[in-house]
Amino acid sequence: MSTHNPQSSLFEKRPRSVRWPDPSLSRRSLVVSGATALTASAAGCGFFSTESDADGGGGGDKGPEAPMLAERVEAGDLPPVEERLPKEPVVIKATDSIGVYGGTWNTAITGASDGPWLWRTLAYEPLLKRSRDWQTAELNLASAFESNADASEFTITLREGVKWSDGEPFTTADVEFAYNDVNLNAELTQGIPPELAGPDGQPGELEIVDDYTFIYRFSGPKPLFEEDMSRGTSGQRFTFYPRHYLEQFHIDYNEAAEDEAIAEGYDGWVSRFTALGNLWNFMWENPDLPTLLAWVCKQPVSDAGEAVFERNPYYYKVDEEGSQLPYIDEVRYAIVGDVETMFAHAINGDYDFHSRHFNDNAHRADAVDNEAAGGYTVVDLESTYSSDMNIAFNMNHEDAAVREVFQDKQFRIAMSHAINRQELIDVLWNRVGEPAQAAPMPDSRFYDEEFATQYTEFDLDTANQLLDDAGYTAGSDGIRTAANGTRLEFTVLVADDALLGSTWVNAMDMIKDMWAEAGLELHVNSQPRENWQSALDENDFQIVVWTGDGGSIDETIATQWYMAGGQAGGAMFARQWSAHYIQRGAQDEEMHEPPSEPIAQQHDLYDQFLAEPDPDARDEIFRQILGIAKEEFYAIGTVRGPAPWAIVSDQLHNVGGSMPENPTYGTPCPAKPEQWYISEE
């Protein structure tokens, strides 16, 4: 059962115009006049005391920093740790026990296209940070975060003394550069990032007050800005671009940037800047780029064999004894393109924490059987997906006749009835699972049983009757043709190296036979993730499958199965309509036709949702959006199977057991890997 409280909002109501206390500070900290400040005298210990008052672990004699950094201090390569830490470090309370320094966190990726796992394990250092259960936000890179009465203006104070991994200070100069020169630069950022746009769709106004304080103003209320600033890339829009390093690649600061880029083999300054400092790939491919993360790239992903990330000597967090985090020296990602090979390494005990690619029901029994031999534990995670495999028909396909078929609700309903979900469960889900549509799941506060189960009954007679009534006539070969002359012969695109890639390929092979009974000829095209993603980005596909994001915990954020919008480029059933909304018309010239009336109505409602300050009223607006999704039936869900799981080495501590499996949550980052440690005890 999920720890998510269906009745709670992601952000509880709190009085406006108040400064947040920092919930990350321990009992050795003090809240003074609404601000946060560490005290060095609590419990009779100096802040950098090496005396431990915690039970367990090995922190009592570990000292204030990792031995590998102490050696560099001794050699004169680094300043003392007290000079590397900010004025008020973030204090991280150990999940179970104070840790010890050293060791390697071993895990794996399939290659350069496996960015999501790199993001989930390393890249979560926003202004605010979600708690482990995702219910509250904590101050992080921000030491204060204030809102005016109507949530249209936010005053944000950066944590004074935080430094980039090369020792340069992190200040509002970096915020200004990130905002004006990256996020609002049309050549570097396509469209206005939604989290930075006001109710009118235009970017807010940034005012730099001093080196550590800035104000961000919207044209109207933006009550969810706090939430935005605590999530993944959204919360790092202001903080991921080290100005002192990146100015050399930016044409506005280096007039020779274009010529230099071309001389180095790039298409121009934009491609060089993107390759060396882009939000999505900088940390994986450029060891020279400074970062604020716990581990810094030492060996890029593009290097064959493995990628290596080493502790950041200037990381701004400490444990309850005042010792600098992270505990673990380095993170190593073995590059393993084949999922079965990756799984073989996992059950051999080669990975310390891993919850990607092979953690499906098909592999679970073998993983459990090998726990003792592999020296690990299988930890069940909490599923947050509406369905393990949703099917999207491209309503924005370039062929108008194909669009007409895919936009036909009766066609979609018929295809849903033509799927024998119980057979899928029996054959591919090991007889564990239930039929489910692309709708909020039972532990969501937005759960609607009728929505979640509609059209899931396997009924070929109903499917065929619906198609007959809608004018789809069968030919001599049994394949139907639409009234507009379109033959029902389509191709489904599957990412074969995704988490459930092999299951999806097999499932669509089975559905291919089922749909043939209803008069549709299906071809299954499995592709590596990067090819699959490219087809999506170019809107070059007919049918596609993916997990049912937004089933629980992030329903109002990952809306891409409920409306043309949401994360990851928007709805797969309507990429262009999603871009129209997310980018406020920036790509309308590429749109084949304007959004349908229900889609446009949802866009208006979501604008109201974003501007509504009252959480209960917001929920009611979102239920209206879901009501339209239920009526329109944009996409087909299939099976909600068992929750995924993770492998946790017996030597890895402070993981803390189960956690939600969710891309918005960023499993496992909210579990604070910086305080995980490795010990044989």
User: Percent of the chain at pLDDT above 70?
Assistant: 90
pLDDT digits (tens, 9 = 90+) for 551-595: 999 999 999 999 999 988 899 999 999 999 988 776 788 899 999
pTM of the model: 0.85
Fold type of domain 55-72+84-121+294-381+643-681: D-Maltodextrin-Binding Protein; domain 2 (3.40.190)
Place 281 in a pLDDT band, splitting at 50, 70 and 90: low
Share of the chain above pLDDT 90, in %: 76
Under the banding of pLDDT at 50, 70 and 90, the label for residue 145 is very high
Rounded Cα distance between 647 and 379, Å, is: 6
Query: Of 532, 531, 120, which is closest to residue 293 (Cα–Cα)?
Result: 120
Output the CA torsion sign for 139, 141, 142, 143.
positive
CA-to-CA distance for 573 and 407, rounded, in angstroms?
Answer: 9
Q: Which fold has domain 124-292?
A: Dipeptide-binding Protein; domain 1 (3.90.76)
* 15 has a pLDDT exceeding 70: no
pLDDT at 4 over 50: no
pLDDT at 46: 34
Query: 156-214, pLDDT tens digit by residue?
Result: 999 999 999 999 999 999 999 999 999 999 999 888 888 999 988 899 999 999 999 99
What is residue 320's predicted lDDT score, i.e. its pLDDT? 96
| 168: alpha, beta or left? (left if phi > 0; alpha if psi -120 to 50) | beta
How far apart are alpha carbons 159 and 162 in whole angstroms?
A: 6
pLDDT at 33 (0 to 100) = 26
Q: Is residue 34 predicted with pLDDT exceeding 70?
A: no
Give the DSSP per-residue string, 553-589. Answer: SSTTT--TTTSS--STTS-TT-HHHHHHHHTTTTTGG
The overall average pLDDT reported for the chain is 89
- For the stretch 222-277, pLDDT in tens is 999 999 999 888 889 999 999 999 999 999 999 999 999 999 999 999 999 998 98
- What pLDDT is recorded for position 61? 67
Q: Which of 1, 120, 9, 5 is nearest to 557 (CA)?
A: 9
Closest CA to 435 of 506, 386, 384: 386
Average pLDDT over residues 140-161: 97
The one-character DSSP state at 168 is P
CB-CB contact of 550 with 566 (8 Å): yes
pLDDT > 80? residue 36 = no
DSSP state of 412: H
- HEC profile for 640-654? ECCCCEEEEECCEEC
Rg (CA), the chain: 26
CA–CA dist 74, 61 (Å, integer):
18
Kindly indicate the confidence band of residue 283, based on its pLDDT and cuts at 50, 70 and 90.
Answer: low
What is the structure's pLDDT at 496? 86
Instruction: Cis check for the bond before 598: say yes or no (omega within 30 of 0).
Output: no
* pLDDT for the residue 170: 98
Q: Which helix (H) or strand (E) segment is 306 a member of?
A: strand 306-311
Identify each DSSP E strand in 403-540 by its residue range.
434-435, 473-474, 480-481, 489-495, 521-527
Q: What's the mean pLDDT in 498-526?
A: 94
- 629/18: higher pLDDT: 629
- Specify whether the CB–CB gap between 546 and 503 falls below 8 A: no
Nearest to 543 by CA among 563, 526, 568: 526
Q: Contact at 8 Å (CB) between 659 and 132?
A: yes
Write down the pLDDT at residue 199. 87
CB 425 within 8 A of CB 637: no
Higher local confidence (pLDDT), 664 or 259: 259
CATH 3.10.105.10 for domain 390-640, yes or no, is yes
Domain ranges for the chain: 1-54, 55-72+84-121+294-381+643-681, 124-292, 390-640
CA dist., res. 163 & res. 170, Å (int): 5
Please choose, from the candidates 45, 78, 89, 36, the residue with its C-alpha nearest in 3D space to the C-alpha of residue 319. 89
| 555 token code pair | 């329903």
The pLDDT tens digits of the residues spanning 455-473 come to 999 999 999 999 999 999 9
- pLDDT at position 62, please? 83
**What residues form DSSP beta bridges with 487?**
481
pLDDT tens-digit series, residues 40-65:
222 223 333 333 333 444 444 689 99
Range of 317-331, 562-576, 660-674 with top mean pLDDT = 317-331
The two tokens of residue 418 are 């033509």
Give the range among 349-353, 494-498, 609-613 with minimum mean pLDDT. Answer: 494-498
Least confident range of 110-119, 180-189, 593-602, 619-628:
110-119
Residue 29's pLDDT band, with cuts at 50, 70 and 90, is very low
- pLDDT tens per residue, range 396-452: 999 999 999 999 999 999 999 999 999 999 999 989 999 999 999 999 999 999 999
For residues 230 and 228, give the distance between their C-alpha atoms in angstroms, rounded to a whole number: 5
DSSP 417: H
Higher pLDDT, 481 or 586: 481
Residue 22, pLDDT > 70, answer no
